[in-house]
Amino acid sequence: MNSMVVLISGRGSNMRALIDAGLPVAAVISNRADAAGLAYAASRGIATAIVSHRDYATRDAFDAALAQAIDAFHPELVALAGFMRILTDGFVQRYQGRMLNIHPSLLPAFPGLDTHGRALSTGVKLHGCTVHFVTAQLDHGPIVIQAAVPVLRHDDETRLAARVLAQEHRIYPQAARWFLEGQLVIEGGVVRVVGDYPQQLYAP
């Protein structure tokens, strides 16, 4: 199977789900040296690298260094997994059609941060997570798979986030596997899976 590089900034639980699913993770790259996920990747014998945004004066310079670090592994797929940097248009263009992101909401609802708090204060009854191709517009881009969970009466952000995260760990490996097996087709901005596999799940 073709390989992938995973970009993280912190905990790395989605990265771990990708690794534990047996996907061919060639390297994990973080913009923060203290990202907890790095230790797990290293413990599994996976190459790790740090490209700190603090070492670069401009976003362009950082993104160029990041691209160089990624391309050293010749990955087919770049997977953003809690990577907390806004990427330049040039970077996004470079990996157009082969960079995925996981976002903790049912996009296009709640792009950006604090998705669980916003879901609770808006009063939506379904919440969830989305894997999508990365495009220039933050948290937009063709949707590969979504998982929905109920928002329960006594939920707080912690409980709701945990319910969503469990589903993130299911759908991200699935989406990455589809991509690496060449099963994803984008037609007019809409992603279909060759073979008609379900692109949604509901976890009550």
Q: Which residues are catalytic?
A: 103
Q: Which residues inside 120-139 make contact with ligand GRF, applying CB under 6 A? A: 129
User: By Cβ distance, which residue is nearest to ligand GRF?
Assistant: 82
Give the helix ranges, DSSP H, for 51-156. 59-71, 89-94, 115-122
Report d(CA 35, CA 21) in Å as an integer.
21
Q: Which is nearer to ligand GRF, 36 or 64 (CB)?
A: 36
Binder among 3, 11, 72, 117 for ligand GRF (CB under 6 A): 11
Cα separation of 176 and 188, whole Å? 21
- Return the residue of 5, 6, 14, 99 that touches ligand GRF, per CB under 6 A: 14
Say whether 86 sits in a helix, a strand or coil. coil
Residue 135 burial (CB count, 10 A): 18
Among 19, 79, 102, 145, binds ligand GRF (CB under 6 A): 102
Q: Which is nearer to ligand GRF, 19 or 26 (CB)?
A: 19
We find the least distance from the C-beta atom of residue 196 to ligand GRF, in angstroms, to be 26
**∠ Cα 202 160 120 (to 5°):** 105
Residue with tokens 């603090």: 54
Does 142 engage in binding with ligand GRF (CB under 6 A)? no
Beta bridge partners of 99: 78
Quote the least distance from Cβ 66 to ligand GRF, whole Å.
Answer: 17
Choose the stretch contacting ligand GRF; rule: CB under 6 A; options: 4-12, 19-27, 152-160, 183-191. Answer: 4-12
Region from 44-52, 71-79, 98-106, 150-158 binding ligand GRF, contact rule CB under 6 A: 98-106
Q: How many CB atoms lie within 10 A of CB 105?
A: 22
CA distance 53 to 187: 35
Q: Is 32 in the site for ligand GRF (CB under 6 A)?
A: no
Nearer to ligand GRF, 47 or 84 (CB): 84
